[in-house]
Amino acid sequence: MSAPEPSAAPAAPAGSLRIGYPPGLSPDKWLRRMAGRFPAVQLDTTLVDVGRAQLGQTPELLADEFDVVFVREPAEAPRSAPEGLARIPLYTEDLAVLVPRDHEASLFSSLSLTELDGERWVDPVDALTSSSAEVEMHIELVAANVGLGLLPLPLARAYSRRDVVVIPLDEPARTRMGIAWLPGRGDEDEIAGFVGIVQGRTERTSRGPEPTPRGGSGARSKDGQKSKGASGAVGRRAGSSTAKPRSAKAVRRGPAKGRRK
């Protein structure tokens, strides 16, 4: 028996867009472009718990809370959208190791898993299904010198703390970011306009509501505050040509003694 199609989300007020996004993604640059191009559209953004912002729960989020949602998914997931969902993959996320501030590995700017052979590791946490609280506990154990941790680089940086160092790994990406919406709503002006901006369409090629004179609400978060400057998304564009990882020797920026013994 096939699963029922997700019902449409309750209609948002005309000229508004509800956007959900997970930790590790900064939508600000897209919000600024949307606000500049379509200032009459009210943008309401909400940070979604790590474990909820994933493909398995996306239809529920779109049916009950959001018009569009950014989702974290496996890097090897099919590029075609699952049944009952419209989704565009955006970019893959680099992997990172988390080490205590006083660990010798903290002196290096990049590492590989091979170089970390013999190290103790904390119990792994699934960056796709675990809750934000579980991710925070994972990092807490690293800070307590229980072992090293492993997370997508953007997610690790989102929970950065002074006693833990986040180091990019020369390893294949395991996660990818995408944007999703209900297929029956893809022609709505606000959704089409925002998705076009996220895809990189210019003002001449993007779809969406006609720009109106400035003076509208602009991009605001759920609490009414205007969005701050963007830090940009961290990762690699899905489908783009990615250079072969550099050798461990070529990427070291650590102490003068060079590689770890």
Model confidence at 205, pLDDT cuts 50, 70, 90, reads low
DSSP 1: -
Rounded Cα distance, 63 and 13, in Å: 15
Q: For residue 54, is pLDDT > 60?
A: yes
- Of all residues in the chain, the percent with pLDDT exceeding 90 is 68
Rounded Cα distance, 217 and 116, in Å: 50
243 phi, psi to nearest 5 deg? -65, 150
Amino acid at site 184? G
Q: For residue 226, is pLDDT > 50?
A: no
Q: For residue 243, is pLDDT > 80?
A: no
What does the pLDDT look like over 246-260, one tens digit per residue? 333 333 333 333 345
The residue behind tokens 């701050």 is: 228
Between β-strands 236-237 and 16-21, what pairing exists: parallel, antiparallel or unpaired?
unpaired
Report which of residues 50 and 246 the model is more confident about: 50
Model confidence at 237, pLDDT cuts 50, 70, 90, reads very low
Q: For residue 45, is pLDDT > 50?
A: yes
In what order do the strands lie in the sheet containing 95-100? 149-152, 95-100, 164-168
Is the separation of the CB atoms in 201 and 38 below 8 Å? no
Domains of the chain: 16-92+175-225 (3.40.190.10), 95-172 (3.40.190.10)
Is the separation of the CB atoms in 258 and 196 below 8 Å? no
Model confidence at 97, pLDDT cuts 50, 70, 90, reads very high
Containing 20, the helix (H) or strand (E) segment is: strand 16-21
Rounded Cα distance, 121 and 210, in Å: 53
Supply the mean pLDDT for the chain.
Answer: 80
Region of 105 (left: φ > 0; alpha: ψ -120 to 50; beta: rest) is: alpha
Containing 143, the helix (H) or strand (E) segment is: helix 132-143
Residue 15: its pLDDT value, please?
86
Between β-strands 16-21 and 68-74, what pairing exists: parallel, antiparallel or unpaired?
parallel
Q: Let me know how many helices (H) and strands (E) the chain has, helices first.
A: 6, 9
What average pLDDT score do residues 165-193 get?
A: 95
Model confidence at 13, pLDDT cuts 50, 70, 90, reads low
Nearest residue to 55 via CA among 76, 34, 32, 24: 76
Task: Tell me what percent of the chain is helix, strand and coil, each rounded to the nearest 5.
Answer: 25, 25, 55
What does the pLDDT look like over 109-140, one tens digit per residue? 999 999 999 999 999 999 999 999 999 999 99
- Alpha-carbon 103 to chain mean position: 28
The residue behind tokens 């946490």 is: 125
